[in-house]
Amino acid sequence: MKNLSVSLDANPAASSGLDSFISIRLISAQTLFTAIVMLLLVPNIFAQADFPPFWKKFKSAVVAGDKAVVAEMTKFPLAMPYGINAVKNKEDFLRRYNEIFKGETNAAQCFPRAEQHKESDRRYEIYCPFKETPNDWENAPIRFEFELIKGGWRFVGLDNINE
């Protein structure tokens, strides 16, 4: 019987096939790594891009007085200004709607003119003036806070930055 022994160096075709296989595996690993990195970055891209549609819907619901839609776009408990109890749930929210949106400011009047203030990729704020001085945009201390949470953008807090 003959002893058949093949060296990879002695067979250029075999070496070329192995090199191609390794090359393909390396490219596949690099592609997979790039895809994973891109997917990790995508939420930040969407986080920046999808607040404006959320804000448009939220603002429209407040201006129209559509309490049910606004409640669905709110995270509970809703943080309130210093010394005021948080809004515990949807029922509490519906009961206290006027306190939230017509208390120190008139949100329905303010929101159409209010500017979005981006605090981070996951946080925006809207500032409104007191309802007694609706055109005093230099002094707009009523802050509506919005955050990107697992379920999307939500209204998460109300504050008077002067307190």
Characterise 65 by phi-psi region: left (phi > 0), alpha (psi -120 to 50), beta (else).
left
CA-based diameter of the chain, in Å?
105
The number of angstroms, rounded, from the C-alpha of 139 to the middle of its chain's C-alpha atoms is 27
- From residue 88, give the alpha-carbon distance in Å to each of 19, 21, 130, 150, 155: 64, 60, 25, 19, 13
pLDDT tens sequence for the chain (163 residues): 555 554 445 555 555 666 665 666 656 656 655 545 454 555 444 444 499 999 999 999 999 999 999 999 999 999 999 999 999 999 999 999 999 999 999 999 999 999 999 999 999 999 999 999 999 999 999 999 999 999 999 999 999 999 8
Global pTM reads 0.71
